[in-house]
Amino acid sequence: MAIANSRLLNIAPSGIRAMHDRKRPTSIDLGIGEPSLKPDIAPFESAVAWVREHGLLYTSYAGIPELRELVADVYGGTFFRDPDCVCVTTGSQEAIFLAIKTLAEPGRDEVLVTNPGYPIYHKVCELEGIAWRAIDLPADDAFTPRAETILACVQPQTRLIVLASPANPTGAVMPPSEVVALARGLGEFGATIVFAGSLQGVTQTLPLAIYYEFAVNLNVALAIAALLVIIAAAILLSLKLGSMWQSSRLGSRYRYAITASS
């Protein structure tokens, strides 16, 4: 009898990790994106000082209120600046898992994932028993996501379309005109949701284009927007943790529970 979830046992290992494990001492590692710059030590000293004074306390489930407020201010766009739309997670993969698990129903929904793309998206689908298909992006177009290509893959059971702009690992950016064209095209499919894992600007484009131009129910839109912001918050924290901790307003309150997030 298997000692683990059979779905887990059937998921292929990451090709990125496989290549990383084969590197030799003489190899030039261009694989896993480990940061090479040393961080500013001051935020860490501030966190240790806070812990020394207050101890290691639990935070609220969604994260420290001041941090959520800051994330909403940066990524909330025009309509989602309420901190209640933000949930801070321990890394981007937790955020991706929660978003897909929350929005997609096994046996009912389908997820579309751009290829090349970050492998965690389809691995979460496989672990949860959710059907997924790849949207193959051509190399001769620099793997740029195009509305026509994406819309051609949409079916009635499509619940989520995973986009990243800039994309990981290609760096491809979806032009604003393509975002608008995608929003207009998806308006014909009603319940289709665009789930965007990307850097700053995503909540200024996709959510507004999809959820307001086509008047999706506001409560649903707010719930989806909260999950979109999860990914943006996760990536923001992983890229800018040091600079955020230097904020005089928040630096003294960061501690072990602060997460690093895309």
Calpha distance 62→164 (Å, rounded): 23
Is the pLDDT score of 117 beyond 90?
no
Pair type for strands 131-136 and 110-115: parallel
pLDDT at 1: 61
Structural domain includes residue 17: no
pLDDT tier at 48 (50, 70, 90 boundaries)? very high
**Burial of 192 from C-beta contacts in 10 A (0-12 / 13-18 / 19+):** buried
| Overall number of domains in the chain | 1
Is the pLDDT score of 150 beyond 50?
yes
What's the average model confidence in pLDDT over 66-80? Answer: 83
Calpha distance 87→61 (Å, rounded): 8
Per-range mean pLDDT, top range of 61-70, 159-168, 204-213: 61-70
**Burial of 106 from C-beta contacts in 10 A (0-12 / 13-18 / 19+):** exposed
Pair type for strands 131-136 and 158-163: unpaired
pLDDT at 253: 41
Q: Is the CB of residue 205 less than 8 Å from the CB of residue 176?
A: yes
Is the pLDDT score of 153 beyond 70?
yes
Is the pLDDT score of 121 beyond 80?
yes
Structural domain includes residue 22: no
pLDDT at 49: 95
pTM (predicted TM-score): 0.68
What's the average model confidence in pLDDT over 4-33? Answer: 79
pLDDT at 215: 30
pLDDT at 34: 67
Structural domain includes residue 13: no
pLDDT at 228: 55
Domain, as residue range, for 179: 44-245
Structural domain includes residue 197: yes
What's the average model confidence in pLDDT over 54-71? Answer: 88
Calpha distance 225→227 (Å, rounded): 5
Structural domain includes residue 25: no
Calpha distance 262→258 (Å, rounded): 16
Structural domain includes residue 195: yes
Q: Output the domain CATH number for residue 120.
A: 3.40.640.10
Residue with the bigger pLDDT between 95 and 241: it is 95
Per-range mean pLDDT, top range of 30-39, 66-75, 208-217: 66-75
Is the pLDDT score of 23 beyond 70?
yes
Average pLDDT over the chain, rounded to an integer: 74
Structural domain includes residue 181: yes
What does the longest C-alpha to C-alpha distance in the chain come to?
Answer: 57
Structural domain includes residue 39: no
Is the pLDDT score of 224 beyond 60?
no
pLDDT at 35: 67
